[in-house]
Amino acid sequence: MGAKVRRIESFLKCFNVKLKCTAGSLFVSLLLSVGVYAYAEGKTEVSDTRNNLKLQITGESSLLSIQDCDFSECKDVRLPASFLKSFNEGYSNIYIEDVTSDGHPEVILTGPEHGVVNICSKIYIYHGGGGELKEITGFKHQICNYRIKNGRLISSYRSEAKWHEDVYLVSGDKIALELSDSCIGCDEVNRTIYLPDGETEKMMVSSDADYTLRKPIFSKIIADRAALYGGPDASKKTKMYLIKNDSVALLDFRETESSTRYWYKVKYITNKGKEIKAWVICDSLEYCK
């Protein structure tokens, strides 16, 4: 128990929270807006001074109890089978945080942290009144290394030696994937924007640790006439072309195995507002020099 107390105490020091052990259980108390970390062996209380809400988690060995307490009484919160199954499968670290900004805390189960790159979580929504926890589902990928910024839930994970980020807008138990960035930390980041009509739009953006600071990448045409291609293939040359100093946005990159050529998919807006998307050979772009 002592080692676990030291780990939690280290985590809480930055919030100036006092930690104490009583009768073999762990007790932590702090404001809801901060977020809480707890172990299954312990007891955690969270108080929200705006509406006197207190969500209490108590766990001993394989037993787990969650209660919603106000000034006068505590009501048991029903735990769905998926919650207990995940808990027993190793998602035994518990956070309490209002990730939906609705005044009620969500209960977040998180897997082991040591020696793991992707620290993944499952989020359960709670509407108050002693009801049942409900898992928020429908995420494109599992939620890992999550953080909250600008009212968005950001999930960061590593796959195939690259870092990726998914940015979600969460409202109650409804989620909307707004964008996905791939190859975080590379010179160029591949971004997919998910539009309300179900369509997607791809673009290349600059590298930055903060997704809001990653900007679209533009380049000028440096060739006198840059042929446009229907794909990253010399056999797909079209009759269209761009001329020197035309400005284009970079949408995608491809290196063909059949040749040493590098290709960029670009977007060009004509003087009449018409949008043209096509592939160009990298040597035609100032960006490649």
Question: Does residue 130 share a domain with residue 9?
Answer: yes
Q: If you average pLDDT over residues 125-146, what whole number do you get?
A: 87
pLDDT digits (tens, 9 = 90+) for 194-213: 998 889 999 999 999 999 99
Boundary (domain end) residue, out of 75, 104, 137: 137
pTM of the full structure: 0.77
The domain that holds 245 is classified in CATH as: 2.30.30
pLDDT digits (tens, 9 = 90+) for 46-90: 544 444 556 666 654 456 778 777 767 788 888 898 988 898 888
Residue 34 has pLDDT above 70, yes or no: no
Boundary (domain end) residue, out of 137, 172, 195: 137
Name the pLDDT band for 289 (thresholds 50, 70, 90). Answer: confident
The 3-state secondary structure of the chain, one letter per residue? CHHHHHHHHHHHHHHCCCCEEECCEEEEEEECCCCEEECCCCEEEEEECCCCEEEEEEEECCEEEEEEECCCCEEECECCHHHHHHHHCCCCEEEEECCCCCCCCEEEEECCCCCCCCCEEEEEECCCCCCECEECCCCCCCEECCEEECCEEEEEEEECCEEEEEEEEEECCEEEEEEEEEEECCCEEEEEEECCCCCEEEEEEECCCCHHHCCECEEEECCCEEEEECCCCHHHEEEEEEECCCEEEEEEEEECCCCCCEEEEEEEECCCCCEEEEEEEHHHEHHHC
Question: Does residue 133 share a domain with residue 8?
Answer: yes
Question: Does residue 155 share a domain with residue 90?
Answer: no
Boundary (domain end) residue, out of 160, 188, 215: 215
Question: Does residue 183 share a domain with residue 168?
Answer: yes
- For residue 155, give its domain range: 144-215
Number of domains making up the chain: 3
